[in-house]
Amino acid sequence: MKHTIKKTLTVLTAALLAVGATAKDITILNVSYDPTREFYDEFNQVFAAKWKAETGENVTIKQSHGGAGKQARAVIDGLQADVVTLALAYDIDAIAEKARLIPKEWQSRLPDNSSPYVSTIVFLVRKGNPKGIKDWGDLVKPGVSVITPNPKTSGGARWNYLAAWAYELGRNGGDQAGAQEFIRKLYKNVPVLDSGARGSTTTFVQRGIGDVFLSWENEAYLAIKEFGDDYEVVFPSVSILAEPPVTVIDKVVDKRGTRAVAEAYLNFLYSEEGQELAAKHFYRPRLASVAAKHKQRFPDINLITIDDVFGGWQEAQATHFNDGGTFDQIYGK
């Protein structure tokens, strides 16, 4: 009997070792927001090749895209994301607070507030800018049709909303009530609320609705790249510094044994190669050397920050986007 048990254990051990020896295929899931599809399509391929060269392991990065708020909720509800690369820190904070999948101080784990690239909000208008839209003030004029997604579900839409609010605060000398009225007028000109930025691109570009699309800078350039001369980018006098952050989801990577590759994946975003890819896809790189190289592509704009004007994302979310916040008050009217 003892001989049989020993033999069985030997066979089992050998089988396990054999499985281990061939277990070189790794899959991780990057849950991201709407406009990053094209960037991560290319970035994933470059990273996978690099990882293979360094470790011999085949890594496949699956992507999931949607409105940032919806994506964060999916992770909270159990979507097994190894990493998230979302539109704003508030949505990742929600993952830390509600699902406790990551530590609360997640944002200090990587450089630059865990935002390896930044972006801003610009205006995409139709060729020739027939409505003469140059700044935020033009968006509230009667007869101007504005396309922007729903700030309840889209990170990009929240940046749009806050940029417009900040513009009006700057113009009227800090009158919050005036800013709220300005936003109310702006949303009166919004005929369709998509759930995410990519949906709004479809509304504006493919369905031909609206005069101006409040867009991520990269999304605007992608539309021009794809549809050529039909559109123009307008840089408003002031916009907002959008810092899309990234993090590994600790409990998922530890459970799945993917921490090493997930961390390497995010660190690669900060490398020169990763920054070049970000710039190629119209995200503003953080690395000074790469940013200098692409200076022409990203004009200087007066960029306000969420911390300076709104006291950070938690406060901005509570005031404007939580149930009963200013957006509900405005859009409900």
**Residue 276 and residue 158 in contact, taking contact as beta carbons nearer than 8 Å:** no
Q: SS3 of 38, please?
A: helix
Greatest Cα-to-Cα distance within the chain, rounded to the nearest angstrom? 90
Q: Which of residues 87-146 bind other proteins (CB under 8 A)?
A: 145
Q: State whether residue 2 is helix, strand or coil.
A: helix
Rounded Cα gap, residues 318 and 174, in angstroms? 19
CB of 150 to other proteins, least distance (A): 10
Residue 250 in tokens:
């600790």
Contact 146, 140 (CB under 8 A): no
* In the complex, least distance from residue 207 CB atom to other proteins, rounded to whole angstroms: 5
Contact pattern for other proteins over residues 2 through 41, marking x by CB under 8 A: ----------------------------------------
Whether 24 contacts 188, CB under 8 Å:
no
Strands (E), 153-310: 212-216, 231-234, 238-240, 246-248, 284-285, 302-304
Q: Which range of residues in 36-44, 206-214, 226-234, 306-314 is near other proteins by CB under 8 A?
A: 206-214
CB atoms within 10 A of CB 296: 6
CB 132 within 8 A of CB 139: no
Tell whether residue 194 is a contact of other proteins (CB under 8 A). yes
Q: Is 78 in the site for other proteins (CB under 8 A)?
A: no
CB 319 to other proteins: min, Å = 27
Residue (174 or 191) nearer to other proteins, CB: 191
Size of the site for other proteins (CB under 8 A): 11
Exactly one of 76, 192, 233, 309 binds other proteins (CB under 8 A); which one?
Answer: 192
The only residue of 103, 111, 132, 191 in contact with other proteins, by rule CB under 8 A: 191
Copy the structure tokens of residue 29: 């899931």
Which stretch, 207-215, 230-238, 241-249, 302-310, contacts other proteins (CB under 8 A)?
Answer: 207-215
Cβ-contact 91, 114 below 8 angstroms: no
Least distance between other proteins and beta carbon 238 (Å): 29
* Interface with other proteins (CB under 8 A), residue from 46, 209, 291, 301: 209
Given the rule CB under 8 A, which of 110-118, 163-171, 194-202, 263-271 is the region that contacts other proteins? Answer: 194-202
Write down the least CB distance from residue 191 to other proteins, Å.
5
Q: Which stretch binds other proteins (CB under 8 A): 80-88, 164-172, 188-196, 240-248?
A: 188-196
Q: Which of 207, 225, 251, 297 binds other proteins (CB under 8 A)?
A: 207
Residue 208 binds other proteins (CB under 8 A): yes
Helix (H) or strand (E) holding 89: helix 89-94
Look-up of token digits 């700030």? 151
Q: Please identify which residue in 71, 114, 203, 258 interacts with other proteins, judged by CB under 8 A.
A: 203
Give phi and psi for 180, each to the nearest 5.
Answer: -65, -40
Q: For residues 52 and 207, which CB has a smaller minimum distance to other proteins in the complex?
A: 207
Q: How many Cα atoms are found within 13 Å in the side-chain-facing hemisphere of 40?
A: 23
255 near other proteins, rule: CB under 8 A: no
CB 121 within 8 A of CB 304: no
Q: Quick check: 73 and 41 in contact, CB under 8 A?
A: no
Q: Which residues bind other proteins (CB under 8 A)?
A: 145, 191-195, 199, 203, 207-209
